[in-house]
C-alpha cells in the first residue's frame, strides 16, 4: 500500500477520536493542542501546536491554527488539549473561540490527561463524568484498525525526529570518505576544484552563483546535468527494486544535488510514494552535513505529498537548522505553516507551481 492510499478509520465517539489522533499525527502528542477538521463526515486535516507557556497569551497561536483549518475548507472541527487543566483549558478555549469567529463549527472540545478524557462542552454526568472518562488506546478498535492498515503512532515527536537524524559512527566515517571521492570525481567532470562553485550549481545554502556561463562552462553544466539525471534515475530504479544505494552512490548523488537543475529533476520525479520517502530518508541521513539541504527538502516534499505533515515538519526543522536560507526549504516550510494542501502546488518545480506560493506570500494574513 502506498502512503497516498490513506486507510479509513471509523470514529463514532470522543474516545474513538482520542484513539485516532496519534495515527493522524504519526505520534502520541503531549503538552499539545490538536485540531481535527472535518468536511461532511470525513476527517480532512489534523494540526498540532505546542501548549503556550504559562502566563503567555494563547490568542496568536489559536488564530493561526484557525486560519490553517479554514484553508482546508472544513465545515467543523474538534479541539483536543493534551496536558494538565491549568495549561490546557485556556489554550482550548482560545482555539475554539478563534474557530467560531472564523465560521467553523466546534463539534467538541476535549482535554486528555493520564489515560482519561474530559469534554468542555458536555456536563451530563451519564456520558461526561466529572472525574473524566478512562480510555485504553491499546484496546480501541480504532487503534487496532490503524495498526492493521499499517499506520504507526510513535511514542512522541522526538521519536519521529529521530527517524531523520544523521547516522554516525562507522557510517559517517564511510560517507565522509565516499564524499571525498565524489567531490574529486565532480572536479574531474567540471574542471573546477573541489569546494568551488561550479557552473549551473548552488552552494550548500542554495544560493546560485551569479553570472552567465561561457560556452565552455555551459558545456560543463550540461555534463553535470547529464550525470545528475543519470544518478537520480538510477537511484529511483534501485529503490523501487528494493535495493539500497551504496556509499559511493549516495555520495555522488548528494554532490550532484547541489546543482539546481539536478535537484529540480529529482524534485519532478518525487511524489508521495513509500519508495520515494524511503529513498530520500536514507540519502538525507547518510549525507554529509553540508550536503543535506537538497535531499532533506526532497524528503519533506515527499512526506507532505503523502499526507505525513509531521514527518515533513521535523525534516524541514533539521534542514533549516543547518541551511536557514535554502530557498526551496524556506518556501516549503511556509507552505506547511500556512496549511496549504499539496494539491494547491501541483506543478512544482515549474514556474506555475512556484507562482502559487509566491502569490500567497504577498497576501496579507486575515485579521
3-class DSSP string for the chain:
CCCCCCCCCCCCCHHHHHHHHHHHHCECCCCEEEEEEEECCEEEEEEEEECCCCCCCCHHHHHHHHHHHHCCCCCEEEEEEECCHHHHHHHHHHHHHHHHHCCCEEEEEEEEECCEEEECCCCCCCCCCCCCEECCHHHCHHHHHHHHCCCCCECCHHHHHHCCCCCCCHHHHHHHHHHHHHHHHHHHHHCCCCCCCCCCECCCCCCCCCCCCCHHHHHHHHHHHHHHHHHHHHHHHHHHCCCCCCHHHHHHHHHHCCEHHHHHHHHHHCCCCHHHHHHHHHHHHHCCHHHCHHHHHHHHHHHHHCCCHHHHHHHHHHHHHHCCCCHHHHHHHHHHHHCCCHHHHCCCCCHHHHHHHHHHHHCCCCC
Q: Copy the grid coordinates of residue 216.
A: 565552455
Mean pLDDT per 10-residue interval, the chain, length 367 residues: 46 85 92 94 89 93 93 93 96 97 96 94 89 83 69 90 97 98 94 58 38 54 94 95 96 97 94 93 98 98 91 96 95 89 69 47 41
Strand partners, 43: 38
CA distances from 161 to 60, 82, 288, 355 (A): 26, 20, 18, 30
Pick from 184, 214, 178: which is nearest to 288 by CA?
178
Answer for the pair 323, 329: CB distance below 8 angstroms, yes or no.
Answer: yes
* Global pTM value: 0.82
Enumerate the β-bridge partners of residue 343: none
Cα(197)–Cα(201) distance, integer angstroms: 7
pLDDT of residue 320: 97
Cis geometry, peptide bond prior to residue 346 (ω within 30 degrees of 0): no
Q: What is the pLDDT of residue 3?
A: 33
Q: How large is the angle between the packed helices 260-269 and 215-240, nearest 10 degrees?
A: 30
Cα separation, 212 vs 217, in Å, equals: 9
Give the CA distances from residue 12 to residues 7, 19, 93, 137, 199, in Å, rounded to whole numbers and listed in that order: 16, 11, 23, 15, 58
CA distance 200 to 220: 9
pLDDT at 202: 40
What is the CB neighbour count within 10 angstroms for residue 161? 18
**At which residue does the C-alpha cell 484498525 appear?**
145
Question: In this predicted structure, what is the pLDDT of residue 262?
Answer: 96
Q: What is the CATH number of domain 14-157?
A: 3.40.140
Q: 35 has which bridge partners?
A: 47, 79
Strands 42-50 and 116-119 turn out to be: unpaired
Q: What's the CA gap between 61 and 343, in Å, rounded?
A: 25
Domain ranges of the chain: 14-157, 170-362
- Quote the CA–CA distance of 215 and 227 in Å, as a whole number: 19
Identify which of 304, 243, 320 has the alpha carbon closest to the alpha carbon of residue 270.
Answer: 304
Query: How much is the pLDDT for 247?
Result: 98
Amino acid at each position: 500500500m502506498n502512503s497516498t492510499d490513506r486507510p479509513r478509520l471509523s470514529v463514532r465517539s470522543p474516545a474513538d477520536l482520542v484513539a485516532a489522533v496519534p495515527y493522524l499525527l504519526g505520534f502520541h502528542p503531549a503538552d499539545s493542542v490538536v485540531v481535527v477538521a472535518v468536511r461532511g463526515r470525513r476527517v480532512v486535516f489534523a494540526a498540532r501546536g505546542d501548549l503556550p507557556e504559562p502566563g503567555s497569551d494563547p490568542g496568536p497561536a489559536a488564530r493561526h491554527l484557525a486560519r490553517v483549518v479554514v484553508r482546508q475548507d472544513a465545515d467543523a472541527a474538534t479541539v483536543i488539549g493534551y496536558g494538565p487543566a491549568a495549561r490546557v483549558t485556556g489554550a482550548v478555549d482560545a482555539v475554539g473561540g478563534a474557530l467560531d469567529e472564523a465560521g467553523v463549527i466546534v463539534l467538541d472540545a476535549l482535554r486528555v490527561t493520564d489515560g482519561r478524557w474530559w469534554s468542555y462542552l458536555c456536563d451530563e454526568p451519564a456520558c461526561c463524568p466529572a472525574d473524566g472518562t478512562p480510555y485504553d488506546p491499546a484496546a480501541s478498535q480504532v487503534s487496532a484498525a490503524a495498526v492493521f492498515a499499517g499506520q504507526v503512532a510513535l511514542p512522541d515527536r522526538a521519536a519521529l525526529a529521530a527517524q531523520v537524524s544523521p547516522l554516525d559512527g562507522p557510517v559517517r566515517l564511510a560517507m565522509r570518505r565516499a564524499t571525498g571521492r565524489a567531490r574529486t570525481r565532480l572536479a574531474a567532470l567540471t574542471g573546477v576544484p573541489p569546494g568551488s562553485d561550479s557552473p549551473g550549481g548552488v552552494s550548500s545554502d542554495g544560493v546560485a552563483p551569479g553570472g552567465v556561463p561561457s560556452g565552455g562552462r555551459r558545456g560543463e553544466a550540461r555534463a553535470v546535468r547529464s550525470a545528475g539525471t543519470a544518478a537520480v534515475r538510477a537511484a529511483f530504479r534501485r529503490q523501487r527494486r528494493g535495493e539500497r544505494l551504496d556509499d559511493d552512490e549516495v555520495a555522488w548523488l548528494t554532490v550532484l544535488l547541489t546543482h539546481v537543475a539536478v535537484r529540480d529533476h529529482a524534485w519532478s520525479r518525487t511524489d508521495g510514494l513509500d519508495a520515494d520517502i524511503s529513498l530520500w530518508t536514507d540519502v538525507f541521513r547518510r549525507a554529509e552535513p553540508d550536503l543535506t539541504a537538497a535531499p532533506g527538502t526532497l524528503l519533506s516534499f515527499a512526506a507532505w505529498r503523502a499526507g505525513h505533515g509531521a514527518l515533513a515538519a521535523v525534516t524541514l526543522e533539521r534542514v533549516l537548522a543547518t541551511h536557514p536560507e535554502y530557498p526551496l526549504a524556506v518556501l516549503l516550510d511556509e507552505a506547511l505553516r500556512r496549511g496549504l494542501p499539496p494539491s494547491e502546488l501541483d506543478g512544482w518545480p515549474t514556474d506555475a507551481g512556484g507562482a502559487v506560493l509566491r502569490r500567497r506570500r504577498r497576501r496579507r494574513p486575515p485579521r
